């Protein structure tokens, strides 16, 4: 058995072995490290090359995007940072392409619009226009770009032109086209709000309203001029008389009003026909205008009744004698024979004269007194003339007494509110009513509103009466709501004096609130004259009423001096055609034209149209053919008491849905 080596020997041997193998191990380690470095370099080089290629592709795609190519591909297979960046840029590209598509779509829409569109910078300089604007302004887009828009507005319209309207309301102005001609337009403008300063500005849309203006002028002409004789009709004549009185008052001079009535004119019509009668009236008009001075006015007041205003008469002269001499000359000229289809015809006229200011200092008194003189002249036989004097004026005394009785009747609650049904012309159903005041006296019967309302206006009672009517209507409406009927919308007339009351708005609100009636069930009617008396204040009041929920209507449209365009600034929802136009619409071409044009233009302004005074089936068919919305008149029933109107509504609710079966029961 061999002896085991000692520990020292083993240790020494191990140390020797270690010493002999150390260089080999070190060499192996160095070789391993070198291989690792080579592999690392190769890996890094591969990755860097891939990223360089991805970065190059990304750079090329960005350059395409900057050139407007929204189809450039930003996809990348590199999952690292370059790939993340590529994905972000791809999302940006898709977003830009979507925005560009929306922009192109919007541009196409604007370019195809029939209304002109003008975009300006904040200083009003034109930045962009569509083709319709080029046509409207008569200039190419390149010529318009950079021009101040206000320079294209007609000089007389520039003071009222604005782009900065927070409400973007429709306004009217006139632009100058390339030929320097004025083109009337309706326009609306709004501010462009954007974060980028360069994108801020205004956008304006405009529409050529030349045809509408021509139509409005035609309506005004037809509404004021007698179709046969081409002289002012009664309405226009009274307006001209009012203006003549105002001039006389300012200039301290005199005027005369002459009423002429053809004697036994019916015999001419009955013997020779209406064509001969028309010929006589035309000849009479020509003869009057042929001998009267240019400053005078001739008007046709009724079928065979004419009026003459002699203006600017010298108060220092013998006024009565001078006017009588002129009137005699008129009568003699008219009496000269005229020839019609081989017949020699003669006309005589009776005449009544009233002088300003002695016989009246306002239109109503002057007309009434001239008419009183004419009536007395006619009682004397054909060809007579009479000048008004005080003992003719029993009517004045009666008028004063009637005014006193009106006050007492109001205090004693003797006035009544009746309701005239308003019919929907689409199906014949009752769509509402108009509230009308009625006054009946035991010794003279019904007093017409046309007679006592002016008295109420003069005495300022109209404010109290108007408020009472609204309160009565709301009270009746509340009672109707307690029964299973639908009263629709009830219209109440407003006067100018009511609108002038400082607490008018609060009083209206208090009245319908007291009775629990929704303002949407009430419609306030205002005449054109009232509307245009003080447009600024009226607009403010009507805006408040509209915001409260009340509906607003223009009553007797066509009898005043406003235009449909002027009405656009008011929050009106309904237009009521005056019965004087409806009455003759089926027999008179000019009246039919007026009604047709009012309905057409009312609808173009999104207004409902109501025809008043419908009395015949022919009128009804005529209005329905024109798509008139509503109608009221004796054909559908006269104004009736509140309980009768409720019963009528019950009949409708019971199945009688058209006016014929409804009113056949009454």
Q: Which residue has the higher pLDDT, 661 or 610?
A: 610
- The 3-class SS string of 450-462 reads HHHHHHHHHHCHH
Angle at 255 between CA 250 and CA 257, to 5 degrees: 135
Decide: 152 and 175 in contact? Cβ < 8 Å.
Answer: yes
- Indicate which CATH number applies to the domain containing 368: 3.30.70.270
Select the more confidently predicted residue: 549 or 93: 549
DSSP 267: H
155 plus 259 within the same structural domain: no
Average pLDDT over residues 413-437: 93
> For 9-13, 188-192, 222-226, 307-311, which range has the lowest pLDDT when averaged over its residues?
9-13
What percentage of the chain carries pLDDT values higher than 70?
Answer: 80
What was the pLDDT predicted at 71? 58
> pLDDT at position 243, please?
93
Both 319 and 387 in a single domain?
A: yes
Q: What is the CATH number of the domain that holds 202?
A: 3.30.450.20
| Domain identity same for 154 and 280 | no
Q: Is residue 397 part of a domain?
A: no
Tell me, yes or no, whether 272 and 198 share the same domain: no
What gap in Å lies between CA 612 and CA 527, rounded to an integer? 14
Banded pLDDT at 23 (limits 50, 70, 90):
very low
Residues 562 and 629 in one domain: yes
Q: Does residue 435 form part of some domain?
A: yes
What pLDDT is recorded for position 53?
A: 61
Domain-embedded: residue 400: no
Lowest-pLDDT range, 54-63, 372-381, 392-401, 481-490? 54-63
* pLDDT at residue number 6: 42
In a domain, 81, yes or no: yes
pLDDT at site 389: 83
346-386 per-position pLDDT tens digit: 889 999 999 998 888 899 889 989 998 998 888 887 889 99
Residues 644 and 524 reside in one and the same domain: yes
Give the whole-number percent of the chain exceeding pLDDT 90: 44
- Residues 144, 273 within the same domain: no
Q: Is the pLDDT of residue 116 over 80?
A: yes
Residue 229's pLDDT is what?
Answer: 92
Q: Judge if 455 and 377 occupy the same domain.
A: no
- Pairing label, strands 574-577, 608-611: parallel
Same domain, 204 and 172: yes
Of the residues 331, 357, 392, the one at which a domain ends: 392
pLDDT at residue 252 in the model: 87
- Contact between residue 623 and residue 611 where contact means Cβ atoms under 8 Å apart: yes
Do residue 197 and residue 232 come from a single domain?
no
Contact 261, 378 (CB under 8 A): yes
Quote the pLDDT of residue 101: 58
**Is 60 exceeded by the pLDDT of residue 607?**
yes
Rounded to an integer, what distance in angstroms lies between the CA atom of residue 250 and that of residue 244?
10
pLDDT reported for residue 621: 93
Q: Which of 389-393, 505-509, 556-560 is predicted most confidently?
A: 505-509
Cβ atoms of 517 and 474 closer than 8 Å:
yes
Would you say residue 14 has pLDDT above 60? no
User: Among 117-131, 184-198, 434-448, 510-524, which stretch is predicted with the lowest mean pLDDT?
Assistant: 184-198
3-class secondary-structure state, position 298 = strand
Q: Dihedral sign, CA of 330, 332, 334, 336?
A: negative
- Arithmetic mean of pLDDT, 438-464: 85
Work out the angle between the directed axes of helices 461-481 and 504-514 (0-180°, nearest 10): 30
Mean pLDDT across 325-331: 94
Number of independent structural domains in the chain: 4
* Res 207 pLDDT > 80: yes
Give the strand pairing for 430-441 and 489-493.
Answer: parallel
User: What was the pLDDT predicted at 73?
Assistant: 57
**Better-scored residue on pLDDT, 115 or 111:** 115
Q: What is the pLDDT of residue 533?
A: 75
- The verdict on residue 182 lying in a domain is yes
pLDDT confidence of residue 385: 93
Q: Which of 299-313, 330-344, 526-540 has the highest mean pLDDT?
A: 299-313
> Final residue of a domain: which of 175, 190, 208?
208
The torsion angles phi and psi of 71, rounded to 5 degrees, stand at -95, 0
**DSSP letter string, 52-111:** HHHHHHHHHHHHHHHTT-TT--------SHHHHHHHHHHHHHHHHHHHHHHHHHHHHHHH
- Same-domain check for residues 436 and 575: yes
Higher pLDDT, residue 264 or 174: 174
Q: What is the pLDDT of residue 109?
A: 73
Among 367, 392, 417, residue at a domain's last position: 392
pLDDT, position 66: 52
Q: Find the domain containing 123 and state its range.
A: 117-208
Nearest one of 490, 501, 505, 489 to 545, comparing CA atoms: 505
pLDDT computed for residue 609 by the predictor: 96
Q: 81-95, 255-269, 532-546, 604-618: which has the minimum mean pLDDT?
A: 81-95
Which band of pLDDT confidence, cut at 50, 70 and 90, is reported for residue 460? Answer: confident
Asked if pLDDT for residue 443 goes beyond 90, the answer is no
Residue 654 CB burial class (10 angstroms; 0-12, 13-18, ≥19)? exposed
CATH number at residue 587: 3.20.20.450
Tell me the CATH number at 108. Answer: 1.10.8.500
- Mean pLDDT score of the chain, rounded to an integer? 82
Q: Do both 68 and 135 map to the same domain? A: no
Bigger pLDDT: 300 or 528? 300
CA atoms within 13 A on the CB side of 475: 11
pLDDT above 80 for 194:
no
Confidence of residue 451 (pLDDT cuts 50, 70, 90): confident
Find out whether 260 and 231 touch, Cβ atoms under 8 Å: no
> CA 608, CA 630: separation in Å to the nearest integer?
8
**Per-residue pLDDT at 399 exceeds 80:** no
3-class secondary-structure state, position 420: strand
Alpha carbons 22 and 37: distance in angstroms, whole number:
23
Asked, for residue 277, whether it belongs to a domain, the answer is yes
- Alpha-carbon distance of 565 to 213, in angstroms, equals 8
**Of the given ranges (95-99, 172-176, 404-408, 569-573), which has the lowest mean pLDDT?**
95-99
Side-by-side strand order, sheet with 182-192: 126-129, 116-120, 201-208, 182-192, 171-176
17 occurs within a structural domain: no
**274 lies in some domain:** yes
Q: Which residue has the higher pLDDT, 1 or 93?
A: 93
Task: Name the pLDDT band for 89 (thresholds 50, 70, 90).
Answer: low
More confident residue, 450 or 286: 286
Q: Is the pLDDT of residue 60 over 70?
A: no
**DSSP assignments along 175-198, one per residue:** EE-TTS-EEEEEEEEEEE--SSGG
5-9, 203-207, 480-484, range with the lowest pLDDT: 5-9
Please state whether beta strands 574-577 and 551-557 pair in parallel, antiparallel, or not at all (unpaired). parallel
Q: Of 206, 118, 193, give the one whose Cα is nearest residue 157.
A: 206
What span, in angstroms and rounded, lies between the C-alpha atoms of 256 and 314?
A: 11
């Amino acid at each position: 058995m061999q002896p085991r080596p000692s520990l020292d020997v083993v240790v020494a041997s191990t140390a020797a072995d270690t010493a002999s193998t150390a260089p080999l191990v070190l060499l192996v380690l160095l070789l391993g490290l070198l291989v690792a470095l080579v592999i690392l370099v190769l890996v890094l080089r591969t990755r860097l090359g891939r990223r360089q290629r991805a970065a190059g592709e990304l750079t090329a795609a960005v350059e395409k995007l900057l050139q407007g190519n929204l189809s450039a591909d930003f996809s990348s297979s590199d999952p690292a940072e370059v790939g993340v960046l590529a994905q972000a840029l791809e999302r940006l590209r898709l977003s830009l392409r979507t925005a560009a598509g929306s922009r192109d779509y919007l541009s196409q829409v604007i370019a195809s619009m029939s209304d002109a569109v003008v975009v300006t910078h904040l200083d009003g300089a034109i930045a962009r226009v569509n083709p319709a604007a080029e046509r409207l302004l008569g200039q190419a887009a390149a010529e318009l770009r950079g021009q101040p828009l206000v320079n294209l507005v007609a000089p007389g319209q520039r003071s009222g032109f604005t782009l900065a309207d927070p409400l973007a309301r429709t306004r009217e102005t006139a632009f100058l086209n390339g030929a320097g001609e004025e083109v009337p337009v309706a326009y609306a403008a709004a501010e462009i709000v954007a974060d980028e300063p360069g994108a801020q500005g205004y956008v304006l849309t405009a529409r050529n309203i030349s045809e509408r203006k021509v139509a409005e002028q035609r309506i005004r002409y037809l509404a004021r001029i007698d179709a046969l004789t081409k002289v002012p009709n009664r309405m226009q004549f009274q307006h001209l008389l009012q203006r003549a009185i105002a001039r006389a008052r300012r200039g301290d001079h005199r005027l005369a009003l002459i009423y002429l009535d053809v004697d036994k004119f019916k015999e001419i019509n009955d013997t020779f026909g209406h064509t001969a009668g028309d010929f006589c009236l035309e000849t009479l008009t020509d003869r009057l205008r042929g001998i009267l001075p240019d400053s005078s006015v001739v008007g046709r007041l009724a079928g065979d009744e004419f009026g003459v205003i002699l203006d600017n008469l010298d108060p220092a002269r013998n006024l009565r004698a001078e006017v009588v001499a002129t009137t005699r000359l008129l009568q003699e000229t008219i009496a000269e024979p005229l020839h019609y289809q081989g017949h020699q015809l003669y006309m005589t006229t009776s005449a009544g004269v009233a002088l300003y200011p002695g016989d009246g200092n306002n239109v109503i008194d002057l007309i009434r007194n001239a008419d009183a003189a004419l009536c007395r002249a006619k009682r004397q036989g054909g060809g007579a003339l009479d000048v008004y004097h005080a003992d003719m004026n029993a009517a004045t005394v009666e008028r004063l007494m009637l005014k006193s009785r009106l006050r007492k009747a109001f205090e004693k609650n003797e006035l009544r509110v009746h309701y005239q049904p308003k019919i929907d012309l689409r199906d014949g159903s009752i769509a509402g009513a108009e509230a009308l005041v009625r006054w009946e006296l035991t010794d003279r019967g019904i007093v017409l509103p046309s007679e006592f309302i002016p008295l109420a206006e003069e005495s300022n009672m109209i404010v109290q009466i108007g408020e009472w009517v609204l309160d009565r209507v709301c009270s009746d409406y509340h009672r109707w709501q307690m029964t299973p009927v639908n009263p629709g919308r009830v219209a109440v007339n407003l006067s100018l004096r009511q609108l002038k009351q400082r607490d008018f708005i609060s009083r209206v609100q208090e009245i319908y609130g007291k009775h629990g009636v929704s303002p949407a069930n009430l419609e306030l009617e205002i005449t054109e004259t009232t509307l245009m008396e003080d447009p600024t204040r009226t607009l403010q009041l009507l805006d408040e009423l509209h915001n409260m929920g009340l509906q607003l209507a223009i009553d007797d449209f066509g009898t005043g001096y406003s235009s449909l365009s002027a009405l656009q600034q008011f929050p009106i929802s309904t237009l009521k055609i005056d019965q004087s136009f409806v009455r003759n619409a089926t027999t008179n071409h000019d009246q039919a034209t007026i009604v047709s044009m009012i309905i057409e233009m009312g609808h173009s302004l999104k207004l409902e149209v109501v025809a008043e005074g419908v009395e015949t089936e022919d009128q009804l068919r005529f209005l329905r053919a024109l798509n008139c919305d509503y109608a009221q008149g004796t054909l559908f029933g006269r104004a009736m008491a509140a309980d009768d109107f409720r019963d009528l509504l019950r009949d409708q609710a019971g199945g009688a849905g058209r006016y014929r079966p409804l009113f056949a029961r009454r």
